Structure 1
Amino acid sequence: MKELGLMKAVGLMSGTSLDGVDVAELHTDGERIEGFGDSGYRSYSDHERAVLHKALGRWQGDDLGEALEIVQRAHTEALDGFEPELIGFHGQTLAHDPRARGTHQLGDGAALAEAVGAPVVWDFRSNDVQLGGEGAPLAPFFHFACAKWIKARDPLVFLNLGGVGNITWIDPSKDRAEDEAALLAFDTGPANAPINDLMRERLGRSFDKDGELARQGRVETGALELFLSETYFARVPPKSLDRDDFSLMLDLVRELENADAAATMTAMSAAAVMQGMQHCPKPPARVLVCGGGRKNPVLMHMLREALDCPVEAVETVGLDGDMLEAQAFAYLAVRVARGLPTSSPSTTGVSALVGGGIVSAPT
């Protein structure tokens, strides 16, 4: 690639909630954020979502032809109308087991580059896992850039409530994300994914809109206590999860009425965050929330009641909570193209600073 400076990059993200593909443009040199461009969304149809849900937990070499076709088509269509210099393509995570089988994001970046006629950076996580890291979360370097962009001065936390929850603790007094003690990041536990699975299984809905069902129910404290007894919460970060690592949540609420089950699972997601906050090096001055969970008033109320600092959607500081992860992969794509690291010992537990990703250019 040519010598890189400020670039118009576009990131694509399809999370474990399986709702659709976010696409967002970012102007960056891979270090600072210059500005934000257009964004878009391509939702999955009910059929597409069902195929992808059935593919969860499957690995490279399995028969995933139909799921791959859906991923490629959806991401190609999501890019319609964009003219990026570089694309960051995360793919669809199907399985994540960094200590054993590795990590699996379904998607072919080389084929996407040919389809849209622009270079694509993809397979962001494999290098990190191969070098002993968790391979997740990968947005923290971008969160650090966001903290600089909003001119934060005190330690703060970005909390992503997607299918899985994760936090990035940031010391904005540091110059770079790579600096020692600048970041701590890890998965807190399940967030929206098990609640979505409950809604799909019992009511045929994709999610609990506005927390309406949870608001009508009561939290079963016994089930909540059993959930919090899981050894994951005692593990020292960095640490990461697969979407289905806490499938026991559905079993713990199996005998509950729908509303009580939704309320209890929402409380579990909030409690996982509370447990995670205990690992922060210093108490944060604020928690900025992105991902679909910030739109759940019941979940947000639980967090505000439990935490000793303001808990706000990232929109309060001028960021887009729906597009932050897509923007993160635009940012990481530029870092990969420039040969800059994308993860560190404090974000994924990798043994040293590492850059991930394959760059595929159209022929």
Structure 2
Amino acid sequence: MPDAPDTAAHYVGIMSGTSLDGVDAALVSFQTEFPRLIASHFRPLPADLRQNLAELSLSADVSLQKLGETDARLGELLAECALQAIAAAGMNPDQVRAIGSHGVTVRHAPECDAPFTLQLGDANRIAHITGLTTVADFRRRDIAAGGHGAPLVPAFHRAVFASPDENRVVLNIGGIANITILPKNPSQPVTGFDTGPGNTLLDHWAQRHLGQPIDRDGAWGASGQCHQPLLKLLMDETYFERSPPKSTGKELFSPAWLRAKLEMLAKPPAAADVQATLAHLTARTVAQAVQRYAPDTESVLVCGGGVHNRHLMALLAELLDCPVESTGKFALDPDWIEAMAFAWLARQTLLGLPGNLPEVTGAKHRVVLGAVYPGRLG
């Protein structure tokens, strides 16, 4: 008979990013030194919930009623997704130690007078419905320590991708793109930051003109031509020139931001050309960040939804002087890296270990992240 699962070694990570496409839930085993994905579950966000989250993240006039109801509904959905991932592994909740839930960011303002970040997805409901201890609200402790609260995944990238033989960059292309710089010299610090838009504007433009949530394989963008005057306007954004640590979100790179840039042109480009140009924007800003802050990079490992955009991946390969490959090369599915990271972060919290990297977030020191919501199963 196979050994019974070690309940202290199995965690579920739940992630829903700025693209608002859905919820990723990953059941991860830490029985060995290298984390292993046991099972996963993806659930698209219901249209009305997605609309509410989009409105809350972009509107200056927020309804507290809508905020509270959305938080509650999302918490219930996240709990269901966690249970589905556990069931997909043929396991029961009592065989899992805890859940790490990122939630959905509806506002990220780490540089205002009173810095803050806000993620929805009521962890009380997750803990109650699943019966499992839930760790959530990871970002605010880093902000309390003087950091940006983002990106947090680089600590996990270091744990699973750092190599003494090669200078690597891990590129996550979610709604926002971010890089983790992993020097092969262990005496050098791991750094990283948000480079700018990833999929968020590409997805918005595809939804608007194709009626589809994504430009599948980047085919539509590949059919267009990069509009150089528009690209110049898009690149003329002070965020790209700022030095790290830095983080950003849809608060800056929003449909309104794109619309304002388009209105500066005497004649609007064809829709496919705008899509092509947005792909060039993501690729150029990533490449510039790598070339400026990690010029000795020997390979770039890509994860997140953007890895499936063949047009974008081809542009990155053209712009970067090193191999650009999926994290699948290391048997880590690129679609589940972030969810796995929040399982890892939950484990760090329950072990009393820090989860942030001050060189990445700008925090004054390392801290144990998150709030713990006890479950009835231990």
Q: Would the TM-score normalized by the shorter structure come out above 0.5?
A: yes
Instruction: Provide, for residues 290-327 of structure 1, a one-character-per-residue CA deviation record: whole Å limited to 9, x for no partner.
Output: 01111001101110000000001111221111100000
In structure 2, give the amino acid aligned to 1:233: F
Report the alpha carbon displacement of residue 206 of structure 1 after superposing the two structures with TM. 1.0
Q: Which residue of 1 aligns with 2:312?
A: 299
Alignment of 1:117-196 (within 5 A): 117-148=131-162, 153-174=165-186, 181-196=188-203
Correspondence for 2:76: 73
Aligned to 2:362: 349
Deviations 1:210-264 (A, max 9, x none): 1121111111111111222211112111110022312323433462211011101
- Residue 51 of structure 2 is aligned to residue 50 of structure 1: yes
Give the secondary structure class of the aligned counterpart of 1:24. strand
Residue 204 of structure 1: how far off its partner (Å): 2.4
1:252 aligned partner:
261
Change (3 A) 1:61 1:329: farther
Cross-structure match for 1:274: 287
After TM superposition, list the pairs within 5 Å mapping 1:257-336 onto structure 2: 257-336=270-349
Whether contact under 8 Å (1:237, 1:279) holds in the other structure is: no
CA distance in 1, matches of 2:132, 2:101: 12
Aligned in 2, Cα 1:194/1:244: closer, same or farther, shift over 3 Å?
farther
| Alignment length (residue pairs) | 352
Cα offset, 1:354, TM superposition: 1.7
Q: Which amino acid aligns with 1:310?
A: P
Deviates more, 1:330-339 or 1:180-189: 180-189
Deviates more, 1:272-281 or 1:311-320: 272-281
Distance 1:231 1:76 in 2: 39
- Counterparts of 1:58 and 1:181 in 2: how far apart (Å)? 41
Measured after TM superposition, the shift of residue 172 of structure 1 is 4.4
Partner Cα distance (2:239, 2:7) in 1: 41
Amino acid at match of 1:164: I
Matched, 1:199 2:200: no
- Higher alpha-carbon deviation: 203-212 or 120-129: 203-212
In the alignment, does 2:53 pair up with 1:20?
no
Structure 1 SS opposite 2:39? strand
Aligned partner of 2:226: which letter? V
Equivalent residues of 1:32, 1:145 under 8 A apart: no
Structure 1: unaligned runs, 5 residues or longer: 175-179
1:55 Cα deviation after fit: 1.9
Greater fraction helix:
2
Distance 1:26 1:131 in 2: 29
Contact 1:90 1:105 in 2 (8 A): yes
Q: Can you list the C-alpha shifts for 1:77-97, whole angstroms capped at 9, x where unaligned? A: 212241321100111111101
Asked if the contact 2:142/2:356 (under 8 Å) is kept, the reply is: yes
Tell me which amino acid in the other structure corresponds to 2:260: D
- Residue 107 of structure 1 is matched in structure 2 by 121
1:337–1:142 distance in 2 versus 1, CA, 3 Å: same
User: Using a 3 Å threshold, how does the CA distance of structure 1 residues 207 and 320 change in structure 2: closer, same or farther?
Assistant: same
CA contact (8 A) 2:73 2:121 kept: no
Which letter does structure 2 place at the counterpart of 1:79? A
One-letter amino acid matched to 2:44 = S
Distance in 2 of aligned mates of 1:9 and 1:231: 40
Alignment partners' CA distance in 2, 1:251 and 1:219: 18
Matching residue of 1:177? none
> Aligned-pair distance for 1:196?
1.1
Shift of 1:277: 0.9
CA distance in 2, matches of 1:145, 1:172: 13
**Where does residue 3 of structure 2 map in the other structure?**
none
Give the one of 97, 115, 119 matched to 1:85: 97
Q: What TM-score do the two structures reach when normalised by structure 1?
A: 0.91
Post-superposition shift, 1:7? 1.7
Q: Does the CA contact (< 8 Å) of 1:58 and 1:94 recur in 2?
A: no
Q: Is the 8 A contact 1:236 1:279 kept in 2?
A: no
Task: Give the SS at the match of 2:322.
Answer: coil
Could you say if the C-alpha distance between residues 6 and 156 of structure 1 is closer, same or farther in structure 2, counting changes exceeding 3 Å?
A: farther
Aligned partners of 2:224 and 2:297: how far apart in 1? Answer: 31
- Which deviates further from its counterpart, 104-113 or 194-203? 194-203
After TM superposition, the structure 1 stretch with the greater mean CA deviation from structure 2, 44-53 or 100-109, is 44-53
Partners of 2:12 and 2:371 in 1: how far apart?
16
- Indicate if the aligned counterparts of 1:13 and 1:91 stay in contact, CA closer than 8 A: yes
* Separation (CA, whole Å) in 1 of partners of 2:27 and 2:117: 26
CA contact (8 A) 2:218 2:309 kept: yes
Cα contact 1:155–1:282 (8 A) shared by 2: no
